[in-house]
Structure 1
């Protein structure tokens, strides 16, 4: 049986919920994230609606920059309890449409709908799902349908907002080739920058590189990039919610070099991460520390242990050593710190 995978992605989720709860916001630029404090705020944009995006505001942007672009936007704090409640209600609807589902975030999920057998039936199934979510939650979403997770996700990306796109197996190459390289899942800003330096900007150009060359440039991930550029993705839709990493980060109110303040907050982050680790009864192997300096210069350092552990003292000691290296190597004031554990088992 051929695989048919559906990817559902809620449109500008946090901001759309705020519009639903506050109809007076409709048609106005809405930004959910940190407090802009008149352009002096710290932190970033979580979500912006399409009105705000017209001004160039997007997720992950410094909130101060968003304020400069559109000071008249409606800036709202993140109401995570509300968003989680709405997400739960939406995912209960989603799960009715296939026994094989994978929730990947508050606003995204994959469904294996191979039982539809025909692409026309799959499209009808997707439209029915969109309609039920809108009728019950008054929220729009976008659906992408393809022969695997990568193609389904990209189809959804290209159909936003409030759209539905089907890419059949025989259409995959024509669909992928003209896309930008950083559209491809697995290619982040640094990987894209390396590729652009050698004149690779589009997926059809990326396909000219051999698997060996990509492995030489990027290691193991190079093989995955080679496959995804060709629309190959055998990863199954996994019903179990797999926690791949646990992390916390914080942006300081002011850039600082105060070691007592930095390490005091860092220890709190370590404790919070460790508590979540214990709640899920995981062990970890890799510790990663993130440090963002003034002017948004961001670096990460990692340490992988020889074997998995749940030892809090090892976690704390190794994480603090990594942070100390940052502070010794770079004398700039610190804007953000974070810690993450991965390779969980």
Structure 2
């Protein structure tokens, strides 16, 4: 199940004057990027992650909004609650996408009818359009959902999976990005039906292990399971000091360093956090903590700013500190770029370059100066 043009739909729910017009969500400056766009804007060639300047050239009459992740997160949680109330097993794959396991439902009620009624319930109770694809595995269900948009539903009967995806472009396979598509195009492979005819050894030789997965997906094979959704998933770091300290700047530098590390881990795992908790343990072993629900993000600039704000609210004693910690919870799958409404393409490239350096040379290779200065004194 996938909420259609989720950010756009939320904005239209709040303001009906935005209905049926080209609408772009993203940074308003010419250096910003498109976070989401309406189907009316897509007809002019506008798409996500495109520079705003280019989007304006393609669709000069579009309305551009900066976006509100707080609102989007609230509506995402509302839809999650609706699904959780009616589904025994589901996976929240991103802020606007869900996998629902209906195994065994056909014996009692009928998977398709049940899914139709769940979709109608989500639409009625949230006010947001949502599409679904029903099939035997997650891959075909997702591809079916994409073909069913906007605000539609597609059922792919058992045994018809390969026939359903065969006429589609290889770009429709979830793992195929621009680089893979260019390589396949150079091989003369543009449709899945053609890809199905390519021997597995040839794909493996060209793409490595990804070639094996590509071969499987072209034949509608996907054995991945629906991972049960849980709000309790978290990631945390804490540090106990060798010598208790009252130096606030030093404490903040450690907090920034730990937040930076956790944010990188989120992006590496393609996850977003919806809640931050900061913990302080004083020399008398009195421990205090404070948490704050936030808009889903993995952007370290945002997370550091919020963590420091929580620390300022929490640290109110002139007592030596023994330990400081931070925890990200309410984790969901999601893209790093999902909340970068005010970021420009230069900023995005900077974050991507930093992450690439960390992946290649280790997590400590590039860090903020504020997290290093005190540590080296």
TM-based fold match above 0.5: yes
Instruction: Give SS of 1:114's match.
Output: coil
Match for 1:317 among 361, 365, 370?
365
Of 101, 121, 134, which aligns to 1:112?
101
Within-5 A mapping of 1:118-137: 121-137=110-126
How many residues of Structure 1 are paired with residues of Structure 2 in the alignment?
A: 274
| 1:1-345 equivalence runs, <5 A | 8-35=1-28, 37=29, 41-117=30-106, 121-240=110-229, 246-247=266-267, 272=304, 279-280=327-328, 301=356, 304=359, 315-317=363-365
State the distance in 2 between where 1:199 and 1:221 align.
18
Q: Distance in 1 between matches of 2:303 and 2:43?
A: 40
- SS of 1:147's partner is coil
Unaligned runs of 5+ in 2: 235-263, 269-299, 308-324, 330-343, 369-377
How far apart in 1 are the matches of 2:304 and 2:198?
Answer: 43
Asked if 1 retains the 8 angstrom alpha-carbon contact of 2:358 and 2:365, the reply is no
Distance in 1 between the 2:302 and 2:9 partners?
33
Q: Which has the higher contact order (CA 8 A, sep 6+)?
A: 2
Larger radius of gyration: 2
Residues 358, 364 of structure 2: 8 Å contact kept: no
Q: What's the CA shift string for 1:77-111, capped at 9, x where partnerless?
A: 12000000000000111123321110011110101
Distance 1:271 1:193 in 2: 36
Contact 1:126-1:164 at 8 Å conserved across structures: no
Residues 1:100 and 1:169: Cα distance change in structure 2 (over 3 Å): same
Gaps of 5+ in 1: 1-7, 249-267, 282-290, 307-313, 321-345
TM-score, normalized by length of structure 2?
A: 0.65
Q: Output the TM-score relative to the length of structure 1.
A: 0.71
How far did 1:70 drift? 2.1
SS of equivalent residue, structure 1 residue 246: helix
Q: What RMSD, in angstroms, separates the aligned Cα atoms of the two structures?
A: 3.4
Q: Deviations over 1:14-69 (max 9, x none)?
A: 0111111001111221111111x4xxx11211111122222222212111111112
Q: State the secondary structure of the residue aligned to 1:279.
A: strand
Counterpart residue number, 2:280: none
**Alpha carbons 1:103, 1:109 under 8 Å: kept:** yes
Shift of 1:305: 7.5
Aligned partners of 1:143 and 1:163 also within 8 Å: yes
What secondary structure is seen at the aligned counterpart in 1 of 2:35? strand
CA distance in 2, matches of 1:78, 1:10: 17
Contact 1:270 1:316 in 2 (8 A): no
Q: Distance in 1 between matches of 2:107 and 2:34?
A: 40
* 1:34/1:44 contact within 8 Å kept: yes
